[in-house]
Chains A and B, each alone.
Chain A
Amino acid sequence: MKIRGTVAAALASAGILLVGWQTGTQVNGISTVASSTTATGTTGAAGTGSAGTGSSGTAGSSGSSSSTGSSSSSGSIGSSGSSAAGTYKGNTVQTRFGPVQVQITVASGKITDITALQLTNTDGKSIQISNRAAPLLRSKVLAAQSANVQTVSGATITSDAYLTSLQAAIDAANL
């Protein structure tokens, strides 16, 4: 009698765990595809989002920033190349403040939109208390153009690199 119950219980438990495992790996299977696409998409977006043209507005006179417009942005998103259209969800990353998930929308092989589905808990509670960093999408960053800044922060530049830097252009304009 005990044996029958134990065997039945073990079988039921194993079945439940198996279903859970199966569901879990399926979730992940989709995400591997989607997240790799996301990576390509972001690079593409990086080019589009950057504001090369703006700098020529102010600092154009200095001449040092002449190459502005031609940043690598042109390379659009063609590399993602998948013919599939639709919406894909990236894998959910568990943080201790809740799940963070990215959704991408693909139309005719191009990523048309990237949205964060859940940035920490939807009730916003953890956002209020947390200064934690969350994924930030290129398309969503606060826009800034060199026309509107008085100074530039960048990784330490050498004296040589300074000459071709944005900061040099701004300084030159203010000399």
Chain B
Amino acid sequence: MNTQLLPSSPGASSSGRPELSSATRPARGWFARQHRQRRLRTDLLTVIAWASVAAAIALWLADGGATNIASPASLFTAAGIVAGLAGMDLVLLMLLLAARIPFIDRTIGHDRALAFHGKLGKPSLYLLLAHGVLLAIGYGMAEGLDPVSESVNLWVEVPDMWLAFVSMALFIAVVVTSLVAVRRRFPYEFWYVVHLLTYAAVATSIPHQFSVGGLFAAGTWQRWYWVAICIYTGTALAYFRILEPVLATVRHQLTVARVETVAPGVVNIVMRGRKLDQLAETGGRFFIWRFLAPGMWWHPHPFSLSAEPVFNGPDGQGTLRVTVRSLGDGSAQLLRLSKGTKVALEGPYGLLSTAARTRNKVVMIGAGIGITPLRALLETTPFAPGGATVLLRGRTEQELYLGNEIFDLCQARGVRLFHLTGPRAHGQPTWLNEDSVRSGYSLTSYVPDIKDADVYVCGPAAWAANVMADAGKAGVPDDQIHHERFDW
């Protein structure tokens, strides 16, 4: 058996490694093809994103926009129009990134999609602000007005412009509260409500684009293109964020079967449903759950499956399981869920799955409640005995949730397992426990061949960042590191 349970010191197992790796590694990786395709899709998404911005500007160029620049006023106006086009395009990209489109999710994952979404927030706001300011200056110069009077003029006189001003105010509100919310760690619900305002902001910005924007005058092909991308974005949002979740909820008919205590404040929620065979291989990925009980139904919970779906009856009847730690507020109620509560679900999302694999070897590093998705992944993701290493981090053994199940899986599949328990080392940013740091251990001490492995990281954001930094230092390329944010 290659399963090792070492309190914190690695190294003793090195004797067992060579024979296994040489015996089982195929000439070409199992995941080479999958990896190649995912890279292609990533490139495709990059091209689409850039090209859409270029296309927005090209619309204006094709209309002879650049050739009409003849005075400072027209230069300001032109810059304002381009800023507006690019800004709106970025807003649409942001919406698409947040639309949970499966193609995007399978390619870059929910986390990175949302990270890009967040990164585009400020640039698109700046572009939209520039759009307003530059046009106020440009039109103002053309009419001999100062930008403020011109803005008032536009508001009062041009149809739909007051909506555009409202839209601008909403955009500012959304971005500012998002930035503040990031810093202050507002609850997820706050975030959610603020982001609903985005739809109002986009909706109020659309009328003036078509009624005031000369570029999109009736009868121009530019108008059709713009209509098309707006409708596509709207449809994608409506389908993937509303319709598909409703269909999934109806399809699977989930109800709470039982709630089991795993550790103090941590429970398994087991849900019974049907057609769960359609959710095979989703262990480790997350769903957004709504428990349809009084006072809870509106509260969305992003939880990962902590075990592969089990289906044992006709029509894919079976159970799903999530493991939940009470973080206070909404999730405290989860500990007292009663049997039979109906459950709505959206998902699966995220790349904490075999779909992200690029190498034959795999390393899983989890902390706290983040251990539980790894437990599900460990169940099914392919590797040869000896080709996998699991590192679990917790302050105490009790915090290694589902530790026993993981121990059993490791024994059965030939996985090297390390428990890293104890307080965090002081004085430096590390993901390791104090003992390991004092003994001079690093990531490569536990996994010498980590460069050639997929590394799944799941735990609190700051901790995970330290793990990933160490992995990078150990020479693991970015696209072999798979991270799921797990602190909300």
Partners in one complex: yes
A interface residues, Cβ below 8 angstroms from B: 1-2, 4-6, 8-10, 12-14, 16-17, 19-21, 23-25, 27-28, 31, 91-99, 118, 121-123, 125-126, 129-130
> Closest 6 CB pairs between A and B?
A20-B58, A20-B61, A13-B54, A9-B50, A5-B43, A23-B62
**Interface assignment of B55: CB less than 8 Å from any CB of chain A:** yes
For the A-B complex, the count of residue pairs with Cβ-Cβ distances under 8 Å equals: 114
Contact B46 A125 (CB under 8 A): no
> Is the beta-carbon distance between B67 and A12 smaller than 8 angstroms?
no
Residues of A within 8 A of B217 (CB): 98-99, 118, 121-122
B470 CB, min distance to chain A CBs, angstroms = 21
Given contacts A24-B66, A96-B212, A99-B217, A125 and B58 within 8 Å (CB-CB): no
A4 to B43, CA, bound (A): 7
Assuming the A-B contacts A9-B47, A96-B212, A129-B159, are A20 and B64 also in contact, with contact meaning beta carbons closer than 8 angstroms in the complex?
no
| Interface 0/1 of B37-79, CB less than 8 Å to A | 0010011001101110111011111111111100000000000
Do A129 and B158 form a contact, CB below 8 Å, given A8-B43, A20-B59, A99-B217?
yes
**Residue in B54, B62, B158 whose beta carbon sits within 8 Å of that of A24 in the complex:** B62
B157 within 8 A of A: yes
B223 to nearest A CB, angstroms? 11
CA distance A47 to B364 in the complex (A): 88
B479 contacts partner chain A, Cβ-Cβ < 8 Å? yes
By a CB distance below 8 angstroms, the chain A residues around B42 are 1, 5
**Chain B residues with a Cβ closer than 8 Å to the other chain, count:** 37
Task: Report Cα–Cα, A126/B158, bound state, in Å.
Answer: 8
B110 to chain A, nearest CB (A): 19
21 A-B pairs with C-beta separation under 8 A? A1-B42, A5-B42, A5-B43, A9-B43, A9-B47, A13-B50, A16-B58, A17-B61, A19-B58, A19-B62, A20-B54, A21-B62, A21-B66, A27-B62, A91-B64, A94-B214, A95-B214, A96-B154, A96-B214, A122-B217, A129-B159
Q: Which residue of A lies closest to B66 (CB)?
A: A24
Assess whether A5 is in contact with B57, with CB atoms less than 8 Å apart: no
Q: How distant is the Cα of A98 from the Cα of B66 in the complex, in angstroms?
A: 17
Interface centre among B43, B68, B214 (most CB of A within 10 A): B214
Q: Is the interface of A mostly helix, strand, loop or mixed?
A: helix
Interface class of chain B by DSSP: helix
B1 within 8 A of A: no
The one of B54, B64, B68, B219 in contact with A16, judged by C-beta atoms closer than 8 angstroms, is B54
Known A122-B219, A123-B218: A13·B63 in contact at CB below 8 Å: no
The contact string, 1 if C-beta is below 8 Å from chain A, for chain B 284-317, is 0000000000000000000000000000000000
A96 CB, nearest partner CB in chain B, Å: 6
Whether A98 lies near B46 (C-beta < 8 A) is: no
Cβ contacts under 8 Å, A25 to chain B: 64, 66-67
Q: Which residues of B contact A23 (CB under 8 A)?
A: 61-62
Known: A20-B61, A121-B211. Is A129-B157 also a contact (CB below 8 A)? yes
Q: How far is the CB of B226 from chain A (nearest CB, A)?
A: 14
B43, B51, B62, B64: residue with the most chain A Cβ atoms closer than 10 Å: B64
B54, A14: Cβ atoms closer than 8 Å: yes
**Residue in chain A with minimal CB distance to B157:** A129
Q: How far is the CA of A12 from the CA of B479 in the complex (A)?
A: 24
Q: Name the residue on A nearest B154 (C-beta).
A: A96
Apart from A95-B214, A121-B211, A126-B211, what are 20 other A-B pairs with CB-CB below 8 Å?
A1-B43, A1-B479, A5-B46, A8-B43, A9-B46, A12-B47, A12-B51, A13-B51, A17-B54, A17-B61, A21-B62, A24-B66, A28-B67, A96-B154, A96-B214, A118-B217, A121-B218, A125-B211, A126-B158, A126-B159
Residues B53 and A13 in contact, CB atoms below 8 Å apart: yes
Tell yes or no: B139 within 8 A of A by CB: yes
Which residues of the partner chain B approach A9 to less than 8 Å between Cβ atoms? 43, 46-47, 49-51
B47 in contact with A5 (CB, 8 Å): yes
Cα–Cα distance between A6 and B157 once the two chains are bound (Å): 44
Min CB distance B116 to A, Å, is 13
Interface centre among A8, A9, A12, A92 (most CB of B within 10 A): A9
Query: How far, in angstroms, from A20 to B215 measured CA to CA in the complex?
Result: 13
A17–B62 Cα distance when bound, in Å, is 9
**Which of B58, B218, B478, B479 makes the CB contact (< 8 A) with A17?**
B58
A121 to B39, CA, bound (A): 46
A9 to chain B, nearest CB (A): 4
- Partner of B65 from the list A5, A8, A24, A122 (CB cut-off 8 Å) is A24
CB neighbors of A among B422-455 (8 A) = none
Taking a contact as CB atoms under 8 Å apart, the answer to whether A20 and B62 are in contact is: yes
Please give, as numbers and ranges, the residues of chain A lying within 8 Å of B47 by CB-CB distance: 5, 8-9, 12
Q: Are A24's CB and B46's CB within 8 A? A: no
B-side contacts of A1, CB under 8 Å: 39, 42-43, 479
